[in-house]
Structure 1
Amino acid sequence: MDTKDKKIFTASSADIAEKMGVGWNYGNTLEANSGGTPSETIWGNPETSQEMVDAVADAGFNTIRIPIAYLSKIDDNNGYKIDDEWLERIAKVVDYCYERELFAILNIHGDGFHTITGGWLLCDSDEQEIIKKKYKAVWKQVAERFAEYDEHLIFESMNEIFDGIYHDPVKEYYENINDYNQIFVETVRESGKNNTHRWLMVCGWNTNIDYTCGDYGFRFPDDAGNTAEDGRLILSVHFYDPWDYCGEEEKDVFLWGEKGMEISDEYGISPDNVANWGDESYMKYQFTRLKELYIDNGIPVVIGEFGCIDKSIANMGIAGKIAENRAYYNGFVAGTAAQNGITPIYWDNGFNGCYGLGLFDRRKLIQTQPHIIDAIVKGVRNKDPFAGR
């Protein structure tokens, strides 16, 4: 694609959320790996395709987040050079999004997990000098490769970086995360061309709302190299609350919120099967915090991941109602985010059925969860938390 012929997009902080609309993650694909070697299909999904991107666009999504793993594709013995074929494959996927005039978000995703062989972007490591040098080198190459792409391409600094232990942030390690964000911003800006005013996403400890909004040590990076007339930084957070409903397979919590309580009452389901925290009021509170701290101060916010796994199997007698409740939850996230000027991006891992998060069959190129898709898209379009009701 000749990106020079593309219109230079100059959204302001006041309208970037409106233009990004509603988003979808092309998850478990370009960040998939085996033993530290990235492989697009190793986690069971087919290769990324224009046809799949078309299906997502046709469903009403405006933004696609493309998680990336570099890992062994980085040559530590050659100035941290990224494998040319891998970088060009990433570019091809970005071009798929450009063909449909979608926003595309690229990050460093799989390299920051302690659980992945070859993970190196580790805030608790003693090798910070090497890590920061490598991190700068990677972003320099990515920025230079995409320097002429217009502002529909957004870079995101990293993904869920923390020390791998679920506790309050460690100040020393949080400072390393702050340093990563600063290095990222400065490196992209220094690469010139459209990167001097490209939208950049940064995140705090584990991309967690509480640890970003609270007094835990998050420092928003300086962006002195930005040549736009207004800010070009976006805050990135994730939202999977309540986790026992959204992500835990072991716990028998398969209903959520007011609708979940209604289903429980109507069908005689134990209240123990309804999440006992993280309801509608909690979600509203969290998103209002983001609005007041960031959006009201000219800093856009993106929920880079949200979603809840399919637990219909938990009670087959009301499987349909569990599915309805799932659509309600996702619509409530999307609509409440939109009400607060926040861009929501659903996490799709490509897997359907029990405990899956897929919205599409990526081989048949069809929607598998049309009610959830409808709730998310309409929730954002109409700024309506009850779109999935």
Structure 2
Amino acid sequence: MRIGARPSRRSASNGSSSCATAARRRSSDAGATTLSGLHRRRLRTSHAPRARQVGGAAACRVRARCARRRRPGLRRCRRLLLRRRRTRRRSRADGRLHEPQGAARRRHRIGGLLVHQPRGPCRAGDRPGALLGRARHAGRQAAQRWPGDGHRVARAARGPALVGLGEPYGWTVSGIYANFACRHMHEHGTTSEQLAWVKVAASMHAQHNPHALLRKVFTVEDVLNSPMVADPLHRLDCCVITDGGGALVVTRPEIARSLRRPMVAVRGFGETVRTGEAGDFDMLRTGAAISGRDAFESAGLTPRDVKYASIYDNFTIMVILQLEDLGFCARGEGGRFVADGGLVSGVGRLPWNTDGGGLCNNHPQNRGGMTKVIEAMRQLRGEAHAAVQVPNCDIAMATGPGMVFGIGHSHATLLMERTS
């Protein structure tokens, strides 16, 4: 505004027009200084130094370029969302609805239950057919409640072809053997105290083994008072998990004689492979019923001829089941056979796992067969600890399964004898 000039009404109300024009020009030159607070914050996070140097439309162009650079990430997100929507539409068209795999797995794994026992413990008078009927009913219920678990629930609910006892709910090893123990207790009156005697015998032998993991002698009360893992199995009913290894040398008789040590020869053997049989199987009959029978037939021996037995012992119930299947006692009598020290060397009817076995000595992650053969050879050679050495031991057995009983497993039995 020039000095002495007459101001207009507009200049009086808003200041002079020349002052307003100059202010707008200065604002345009300042650029980012006239932007709102929100725009300033955005510019600070994306190309802020350059945005402060330019003003007005130039700043808008900078923001547009930044948005275009971020656009590929947004496009990928949109593609993923569209893909998920298409999957859900197809799922609804097929009569099922997908859900995240982790969520389905968490729902099905709760408790580690087995489908053949969905309503609680076995009822009196239950037959395998009745158990399977309840299993199929539970499978169909699971398929209706959790239809997004894909093939596992759908296959388990088809009907007669039940794909394993644990398919709809998932399974755990301890849960499987706990159900076998429940069934044995229901059918034959076996007690937890009788199961505990298996652990007691193993601990009485392991105290003499300097390499055993557990050298403490346990009592029946110790086993029963240990924490429950899967009813009715307590923690001390379960084997230890350790590192370990072993090796055997098999050679010709003439070479073995030159070693000037007691010779051990293979007298007989048997083996079998057993599947889960689509869930329709006898849960109290292990593969030892076949491998043991074949081994005794090939050797021309009977269970009474065996002076020492190495029997796989991942759980106490598994020892009882194999003793019955191998013929050392009648079916259903395994609990009474092991009670009161029936497996203790020098005391019981059948010296068993004198190194402490898998329950106390070692159990290298499901590989306990090698140590069973090694301890049997020590007994035949007279090289076991003096406190557990079986007198005049001339026939010994080593036996055990592979994989998981109830899901599908193999079983082998080996009979050995000491020769001159």
Q: Which TM-score applies when normalising by structure 1? A: 0.23
Which has the larger Rg? 2
Give the number of the structure whose residues are more often helix, by fraction. Answer: 2
Q: Which TM-score applies when normalising by structure 2? A: 0.21
